[in-house]
Amino acid sequence: MSDDKITIYIKPTCSTVRKALKILRENGSEFDQVNYYETPFTKRKLSGLIKKLGVPPRELLRKNEKVYKEFGLSKKELSDSEIIDLMVKHPDLIQRPIVVKGKKVILARPAEEIEKLL
């Protein structure tokens, strides 16, 4: 994989993802998109991306998701490993889109954050 190639991990129905994809297309950037609902994250892959993001896994949780509330995640003390396990099992919990270019990984929220990689 070339350092110039961008990989964006997406949920196609997400408006922020659609905005990020539009920015990439308008910029003429080459990119691969991975729908992590069709090609689920492994724990190892997600852990590696989170490590490169430089944030604790809890910061990547989508707090308004039904599953977040059902599990009472705001009140639970979970290890990073347990949080990642939950995100792998319930991908709706993952903030998106996660964008990789070379060794850089960002969370493109808002979508304009993707411009930092271009």
Distance CA 62, CA 78 (A): 15
* Percent over 70 (pLDDT), the chain: 97
The answer to whether residue 77 sits within a structural domain is yes
3-state DSSP percent of the chain in helix, strand and coil, to 5? 45, 15, 40
So which residues are the catalytic ones? 14
Q: What's the predicted TM-score (pTM) here?
A: 0.92
pLDDT of residue 4: 77
- Predicted local distance difference test score (pLDDT) of residue 1: 44
> Which residue stretches of the chain have pLDDT < 50?
1
Q: In angstroms, rounded to a whole number, what is the distance separating the alpha carbons of residues 92 and 31? A: 23
Contact 68, 93 (CB under 8 A): yes
Quote the domain boundaries for residue 79.
6-117
Asked if the structure places residue 1 within a domain, the reply is no
The domain spanning residue 55 has which CATH number? 3.40.30.10
Judge whether 85 lies within some domain.
Answer: yes
- When divided into structural domains, the chain yields a total of 1
Residues 6+ apart with CB under 8 A from 12: 18, 35
Question: Which pLDDT score is estimated for 3?
Answer: 60
Give dist(CA 65, CA 63) in Å, integer. 6
Q: What is the pLDDT of residue 91?
A: 97
pLDDT digits (tens, 9 = 90+) for 34-59: 999 999 999 999 999 999 999 999 99
Q: Is residue 58 part of a domain?
A: yes
- pLDDT at site 5: 87
